[in-house]
Amino acid sequence: MTALLETKSVSKCYGALRALEEISIAIRPEEIVSVVGPNGAGKTTLVNLLTGLLTPTTGEVLFMGENIAGIGPVLLAERGLVRSFQLIQIFPQLTVADTIAAAVVSRQKKRWRLFASLATDQAIAARVAEVAEIFGLAQRLGTPAATLSQGEKKLLDVASAFALDPRIILLDEPTSGVSTAEKHGIMRTLIAAAKRAGVQSILLVEHDMDLVAAYSQRIIALSQGRVLADLPPERFFADPQLIENVIGKRRRH
């Protein structure tokens, strides 16, 4: 099956430091793929390459067969690859409706206007209501984002990305800072929303191995800038040495 998103022999250097070394991965339609690895493994660099923020030193980054190296997240979102962009951290005073509307306006390539006039645009309002309903935020449209619970903030964060109608969405630790009890609920909501919204694939960067085990169809493990493994969950978690390399050795008491 043809890959939606792939890297071909990608390396990234910062001076003498080689952050990534000959990385070749592929994300295909109808997949949830998790990228895991210890701190310093190269996950952030890989994400920034995949989302057009960085250009590889060598190799290619392809989305739907086209080179996207360094094109930036705005143009990439127009093509259909979106990373949750945490608008609520930038504009915490905006309401839930305004936060989603900002993404809808961006997707529709309309000129930025005062939020007061956004409410008069019925097409935008309808799309905002639709996205909010998918994520269980329909009753919170008038609520300032800053006053939401941590779990609701995470859902709003990703709802804004979904409003851009992506083919692939990249979720960078979407449940970080959320209580353990809420994490699975959020993940189930995100995956159900992705299906409803027509998202073809999800790339999940995650350190919580319980979530990785529960929701991934494939796990790509990075270590010291290289691909350590690219395996289905049952094979990944059957290898104790691999798990230790990814998570790190436990402290001895």
> pLDDT tens across 226-242, in order?
999 999 999 999 999 89
Q: Is the pLDDT of residue 12 over 60?
A: yes
Percent of the chain with pLDDT over 70: 89
**CATH 3.40.50.300 location in the chain:** 5-80+166-247
Average pLDDT of span 134-143: 93
Average pLDDT of span 139-145: 94
Our CA dihedral for 174, 178, 181, 185, rounded to 10 degrees, sits at -30
Average pLDDT of span 32-58: 92
Question: Dmax of the chain from CA atoms?
Answer: 62
Superfamily of 5-80+166-247 according to CATH: P-loop containing nucleotide triphosphate hydrolases (3.40.50.300)
Instruction: Read off the pTM.
Output: 0.86
Which tens digit of pLDDT belongs to each residue from 176-189?
Answer: 888 888 899 989 99
The SS3 assignment for 53 reads coil
